[in-house]
Amino acid sequence: MSILFSRQCEYALQAVCYLALKKEGEMTSIKELTEKLEIPYHFLGKILQNLSRKGLLRSLKGPTGGFALGMPPKEITLFHVVEAIDGVKFTSGCVMGFPECTGKNPCAVHEHWAGLRDGIYRMLVHRNIAEVAKDMRKGVYTSLRH
């Protein structure tokens, strides 16, 4: 298991950030993404298709085709991606798995987790994808050529 998001979702987050570093409108092929991010080709293809269907990306077939962001980068957040792939179940639900855990009927870490859950949400929404990707360039993307 991955830490918090599914493998698919992790790949989606990486790919969307990568696309956000491109000039607006520029198309990027699966081939490039798969090489730079080291994600299995066909698996990534499916994920990007999925994101396209949901409007987060747009795609174009043929040579010069590929994928690009489907909306202005300032309108996309990491949360949109997580929502599209894994859904939002992490925003509710008991971290200990109690089916009946609620505010009135809390488990022992209910309050503590509520704070952390909000923290995760804020992590995903407090910057748009343009800002996030720019930050990323200082880190994990520095070794890549674009």
Quick one: which segment of 3-11, 70-78, 112-120, 129-137 binds DNA (CB under 7 A)?
3-11
With a CB cutoff of 8 Å and minimum separation 6, the contacts of 95 are 107, 109, 113
Residue among 38, 62, 63, 145 that touches a copy of itself (CB under 8 A): 38
CA atoms within 13 A on the CB side of 20: 28
Least distance CB 45 / a copy of itself (angstroms): 18
65 binding partner (options DNA, a copy of itself, none; Cβ < 5 to 8 Å by kind): DNA
Instruction: Say whether residue 45 binds DNA (CB under 7 A).
Output: yes
3-class DSSP assignment, residue 64 = coil
Instruction: Say whether residue 2 binds DNA (CB under 7 A).
Output: yes
Tokens 């997580």, located at residue: 82
Least distance CB 63 / a copy of itself (angstroms): 30
Identify residues 51-80 at the interface with DNA (CB under 7 A): 52-53, 59-67
What whole-number distance in Å separates Cα of residue 136 and Cα of residue 17? 8
**What is the helix (H) or strand (E) element at residue 82, kind and residue range?**
helix 78-85
Q: Which is nearer to a copy of itself, 17 or 51 (CB)?
A: 17
Strand runs labelled E in 6-55: none
Q: What are 59's strand-pairing partners?
A: 67
Instruction: Say whether residue 42 binds DNA (CB under 7 A).
Output: yes
146 binding partner (options a copy of itself, DNA, none; Cβ < 5 to 8 Å by kind): none
